[in-house]
Amino acid sequence: LVPPPRLRELIRTIRTARTQAEEREMIQKECAAIRSSFREEDNTYRCRNVAKLLYMHMLGYPAHFGQLECLKLIASQKFTDKRIGYLGAMLLLDERQDVHLLMTNCIKNDLNHSTQYVQGLALCTLGCMGSSEMCRDLAGEVEKLLKTSNSYLRKKAALCAVHVIRKVPELMEMFLPATKNLLSEKNHGVLHTSVVLLTEMCERSPDMLSHFRKLVPQLVRILKNLIMSGYSPEHDVSGISDPFLQVRILRLLRILGRSDDDSSEAMNDILAQVATNTETSKNVGNAILYETVLTIMDIKSESGLRVLAINILGRFLLNNDKNIRYVALTSLLKTVQTDHNAVQRHRSTIVDCLKDLDVSIKRRAMELSFALVNGNNIRGMMKELLYFLDSCDPEFKADCASGVFLAAEKYAPSKRWHIDTIMRVLTTAGSYVRDDSVPNLIQLITNSVEMHAYTVQRLYKALLDDISQQPLVQVSSWCIGEYGDLLVSGQCEEEEPIQVTEDEVLDVLEGLLVSNLSTPVTRGYALTAIMKLSTRFSSVNRIKKVVSIYGSSIDVELQQRAVEYNALFKKYDHMRPALLERMPIMEKTATNGPTEIVQTNGETEPSVLDTKHPPPVTQPANQVRGVIISKYAGLHLCNLYIGIPPMTAYNKNGLKIEFTFERANPNPNIAVITIHASNSTEADMTDFVFQAAVPKTFQLQLLSPSSNVVPALNQGTVTQVIRVLNPQKQQLRMRIKLTYTHKGSPVQDLAEVNNFPPQSWQ
Amino acid sequence: MPLITSICAFPLTTHCMQFMLLFSRQGKLRLQKWYVPLSDKEKKKITRELVQTVLARKPKMCSFLEWRDLKIVYKRYASLYFCCAIEDQDNELITLEIIHRYVELLDKYFGSVCELDIIFNFEKAYFILDEFLLGGEAQETSKKNVLKAIEQADLLQEVRHITESAWSDSV
């Protein structure tokens, strides 16, 4: 009987395969042989076969048929078998597998084995992947081993206990007695894992935290010894003694010192010592400094120590090592709100990082720069940020543009500067500007009354140059519609007024209507603008002609507008001037974010910009809409939808379901969808239930519907709100299920909804 | 069809290291150590995506990147990428030292380690890792002690039955 090939033989063979197909064939052949060997209960070669199976598993091939074999290996008395068995268990037998629990008894026996290396295997396996049930069963054994004098086992037991606590937090108490002398150990392995265990306990339980605060002096002593002691070859890394332990102690000190004055004071000196004495030429020293800075910033340290910490970060920013620069920027971002002035001192270095080659560094530098903008530095900072906007990668442009708008809103030194800044963003990064910026800008422009003439002139000139950037085009169209009269009358004070005729303006707007570059939304803006000019220009006939042409447009949205505007000319002409008059100044609603329009005069207040995602402002569209509808109830007019276009999700058998969208404040990752169900048949749809499911990376919440009767003949709609959390900004897809009773019979239907507008999930 | 489907793959508990992957420049996996429970399918997906992301990085870029909710710390040693996923509160710089320590251990054990050593002796690479880290945390900070334990364990493989307490002295 030929023994099966050895592991390394098989590896060699498989590596000779020249194609994927060849490899698959070899593996299938070997797997078949291994399977029969398993069936024959071959003890001698089980270990070898499982090892080979693990290799093939790593290549991506299925290995589930080896699961039980791992258990048999674990139960064997040969150390080689146990080693491979436990390895196999860790690779193939996580807690999702049914057979996982069968390991419990074996592990229990091995935890009590006479050979420490076997005990070690059991502890390691339990500590890496033990399920909650297993942890419950075996916690007692772990606790026993935590008290042993064998440091090899004690250190492993400590980490195993950490895992047990993570899986079954209620068991934490039982480990408390064993922690009593952990820090008196001399063995670094035990010390390190003990500190990890203590950290875990303190993070999970306020009681434990108070209980362990008394350890601060001891921890300080241990840390001091590490720093002051001479060279210790066993734990030395580039001249630093056991950096891993130092970092862990610093982290535990952080947790103990947080919100406790006495503890913070007790650790003050050692933190200062570490901060000033640690060698910074290599990564290892900087790793310790980094942890020290994090601790200083988190506890109740005195201001001198905090400044020291920020200065360390400032020095990090100048380090050649980009990794160091990266962590510096990350840390500064975390502290910029609380230690704003200290961070301000490093502003120019931070701004320099905008030019870094690394994308992550650039992003952080950008976020931090926005966080540092204030009334005093707005002009200089904006120059740098606009330069960055010009040259940065597309992935930054949207965030940067939003940030510029918010910063400008908060700290603009003058209205003219503000408009100019907006113009600059729209013309240089116009296609990246977020859709929700458009209503925001419109509101801003409306409220800057004395700048109307200047604004419309600049926007008009920008349109002459380029009609491809939709946000720019939309804002421009809107402005021309509103202030076209100022444009043609040449009233601009801020700069040389241009000479332009009504016809030229209408040419431009009509050009937008026909251009391939214009989106349907933009066309809507253009048409409405043209309509508005009918009360501001004298060429009413031309406008009438344009409007009537679009009454038969294929675009339903455009068609509807044109038809309504036509009606306005024909039947409601007496109302037209009032309907199309200048927009009033808009009240800005209080948002959940810290953005309010405040006229600043260069006050030094810390910028309260949310650095990760500039909070989206409540769309004044809702404001605008509210004003119009209330004034002109009954007329479905001025569908100035600013925001995400609605969509028809389902339309079958007389049941039509439309989705309308909003982005929720303050979380831009949540899309709020309102469904509107209507019924065009002659009978009501009763017991109407709408259900939805989304892919795994999303979360969905369905609120109560307005009713469960969808009345016949479109006499009313049932509405229901869906909230979708989309943290990964993946393309939104949904499956919906509709059930209702119609004319006495139950109806059920399933549908996929895939045509979500990109703005609802991007 | 479930009404409300489940959330992201990663557990939300505080954890140090969630996983460590070793892969070649061609994207071939050489070692995978998972410290969180995930299905095979999820592991494969994560591996595929992460390998692609890391391999696309240019040499001048820093060793850290944000990926999903995690921080990824990676470093290339010769033809192998060592890649760790850590949580938000964890120290990236010390993770680089952890990676470096593991490489040193492999180097000492195999004598000037290269990718082929890891390929042909993957089980030993795992054994060494499991003597250095446990549950994603360092269990031993002395290089010497880790190597000594491995040495002793290797010797134990030669013994036929290990029911006697021949090797229970502490290291």
Q: Considering only CA atoms, which of A48, A27, A26 is closest in space to residue A37?
A: A48
Q: Best of A56, A91, A128, A133 to disrupt the B interface by mutation (most B CBs within 10 Å)?
A: A128
State the pLDDT confidence band at A484, using cuts at 50, 70 and 90.
very high
Residue-wise pLDDT tens digits, A263-318: 999 999 999 999 999 989 999 999 999 999 999 999 999 989 999 999 999 999 99
In angstroms, what CA-CA distances link B158 with A161, B3, B126? Answer: 31, 57, 19
**Domains of chain B, earliest start first:** 19-169 (3.30.450.60)
Yes or no: say if A191 and A223 are a contact pair by the CB < 8 Å rule.
Answer: no
| CA atoms of A628 and A748, how far apart (whole Å) | 40
The one-letter amino acid code at B20 reads M
Instruction: Tell me the whole-structure pTM to 2 decimals.
Output: 0.73
Nearest chain B residue (CA) to A689: B3
Q: What is the pLDDT of residue A674?
A: 87
Residue-wise pLDDT tens digits, A415-474: 889 989 998 999 888 888 887 788 888 888 888 888 899 999 999 999 999 888 899 999
ipTM over 0.85: yes
Mark yes or no for CB contact A358/B152 under 8 Å. Answer: no
B26 has a chain A CB within 8 A of its CB: no
Mark yes or no for CB contact B170/A151 under 8 Å. Answer: yes
Q: Considering only CA atoms, which of A387, A299, A296, A302 is closest in space to residue A313?
A: A296
- Among B3, B31, B101, whose Cβ lies nearest the Cβ of A693? B3
Residues A641-665, mean pLDDT to the nearest whole number = 77
Instruction: Name residue, tokens 């040495």.
Output: B151
Mark yes or no for CB contact A244/B5 under 8 Å. Answer: no
Contact residues, chain B, for A243 at CB < 8 Å: 94, 97
Yes or no: say if A641 and A661 are a contact pair by the CB < 8 Å rule.
Answer: no
| CA atoms of B52 and A373, how far apart (whole Å) | 37
Yes or no: say if A730 and A698 are a contact pair by the CB < 8 Å rule.
Answer: yes
Nearest chain A residue (CA) to B143: A234
Q: Is pLDDT at A77 greater than 80 in this prediction?
A: yes
B130 has a chain A CB within 8 A of its CB: yes
| CA atoms of A521 and A518, how far apart (whole Å) | 8
Mark yes or no for CB contact A78/B7 under 8 Å. Answer: no
Q: B102: Cβ–Cβ under 8 A, 6 or more apart, which residues?
A: B82, B128, B129, B132, B133
Q: What is the pLDDT of residue A588?
A: 60
- Higher per-residue pLDDT: A599 or A363: A363
Residue-wise pLDDT tens digits, A339-383: 888 899 999 999 999 998 888 899 889 989 998 998 889 999 999
**β-strand partners of A747:** A740
Yes or no: say if A397 and A423 are a contact pair by the CB < 8 Å rule.
Answer: no
Structure tokens at A462: 């920008």
Mark yes or no for CB contact A323/B96 under 8 Å. Answer: yes
DSSP A102: G
Q: Best of B142, B146, B157, B169 to disrupt the A interface by mutation (most A CBs within 10 Å)?
A: B142
Residues A71-77, mean pLDDT to the nearest whole number = 94
| CA atoms of A575 and A494, how far apart (whole Å) | 35
Mark yes or no for CB contact B91/A118 under 8 Å. Answer: no
